[in-house]
Amino acid sequence: MEPFELDLTAAAEAIGTGSLSPVELTESVLGRIEATEPAIGAFAHVSADLARDAATAAEKEIAAGRYRGPLHGIPLGVKDLYDTAGVPTTSSSEVRAGHVPDTDAVAVRRLLDAGMVMVGKTHTHEFAYGGRTHTTRNPWDTARIPGGSSGGSGAALAAGSCMLALGTDTAGSIRIPANLCGTVGLKPTYGRTSRRGVASLSWSLDHVGPLARNVTDCALALDAIAGHDPLDPASVDVPVPGYAAGITGDVRGLRIGVPANFFFDHVRPDVEASVRAAVDVLVGLGAEVREVTIPYPDQVLAVEWGIVLPEAAAYHRESLRTKAHLYRPETRLQLEAGELVLATDYINALRVRTLVQRAWKELFADVDVVVGPVQPFPAPLVDEMEVVWPDGTVELVDLAMVRLTSPANLTGLPTLAVPTGFDERGLPLGMQVTGRPFDEATLLDVGAAYEAATDVVGRLAPLGR
């Protein structure tokens, strides 16, 4: 096995025992990037020289007895929305071509302080405003999209081009690529992780979180990046447990809410079957199932877009007046449409969101988690723009991709995406597990229990067929 094939936890154990050095690991990952980038295009910028310097420094620190913990010497991919000092940060857009920040985003700084080695910046759908990531292909099948907006992070992880990656999630942008690329992705509770230094799509919906190859690796990342930031107005000052150390994988007595509506409406049969089989695995481990009804299902996308459109337009207001020609056409169209949303419509969307949040709080009076599909289908083809359901309903793929993920953004609830299997073409399928505010620990236990009971989670992808 090559070093790049290891997951974060295994690599950390090897570094801790001295059987693998950070330099060896980094060189292996950089070699993997060089081999895979022509096929998948996951990286907006590869910081090879900086990575080698950081790996060398990590190796010297560890040899001198200054081991910082399990992230020390581990290769990291950072979504190109995050500021990185001295490294280009363009949001995968010509609008910010040549932009080099002089400080790190808070989440990046916390991971670097934990000893991680940043190997590069991963591509995003331009300014995170979409679910395709046009620059990048899916390593399970390069004729297909990796999802978005954190598509570069999902693709890089699945290809073995890093061992942890940062993403952002405004309508599903961590969970969509995690699902389509067969990795684990965690959207923490709104306010659990700092957004400072991260380009905004919609400030009241944006979340910062990790993608990784398995559940424990996600927990290790959350251990590092969670915590109050007084300079982020959305940050909440609540205690942060030790997530990785606290994983028990014990789901006995856990009450799983399985939706009777919404989450299994207009999804492919193999997706539904895979998620229901995963629930059965958890039941076999001692959990119990309770049927739940998802509140306000018909309002989800209207409220999501009623908030995203004007907030994104406000963030980009100046650039739209000076650099509009540099945006991709569909991004510019959505931003300009956002300027046409009435203030009364925006306020009404916020009001309905409050109703949605209250209803979901009541839902969790009877269950501990809610489980459903992440996506209604596996990774679409690059040119696949519509899906026709058996009842004749025609749905735009781009809207379908955020249909099942948006509730967790509207509510701010923590959600974990975990692979549950593969379709007949070998494309990943998966479930999302949503929990109470700031109860990421329970989600990680559910994911760890399922991971330990199956052999699905943690597989590297082929690079196409």
Of 93, 153, 173, 202, which residue is the catalytic one?
Answer: 173
CA distance 402 to 157: 21
CA distance 275 to 273: 6
Of 21, 28, 47, 79, which residue is the catalytic one?
Answer: 79
Q: Are 87 and 104 in contact (CB under 8 A)?
A: no
Could you give the C-alpha distances from 104 to 61, 202, 203, 223, 440, in angstroms and in order? Answer: 22, 20, 19, 18, 25
CA distance 58 to 76: 14
Burial class (CB in 10 A: 0-12, 13-18, 19+), 425: exposed
Q: Are 140 and 427 in contact (CB under 8 A)?
A: yes
Of 149, 153, 161, 194, which residue is the catalytic one?
Answer: 149
Per-residue H/E/C for 269-324:
HHHHHHHHHHHHHHHHCCCEEEEECCCCHHHHHHHHHHHHHHHHHHHCHHHHHHCH
Q: Is 60 a catalytic residue?
A: no
Nearest partner of 433 among 452, 457, 410, 450, judged by Cα? 450
Nearest partner of 273 among 455, 429, 449, 432, judged by Cα? 429
Q: Is 21 a catalytic residue?
A: no
Amino acid at 105: A
Q: Are 327 and 338 in contact (CB under 8 A)?
A: no
Sign of the C-alpha dihedral computed for residues 122, 227, 308 and 405 taken in this order: positive
Q: Is 121 a catalytic residue?
A: no
Contacts of 7 (CB under 8 A, 6+ apart): 163, 212, 213, 214, 217, 458
- In degrees and rounded to multiples of 5, residue 148 shows phi and psi of -170, 180
Residues that are catalytic:
79, 149, 173
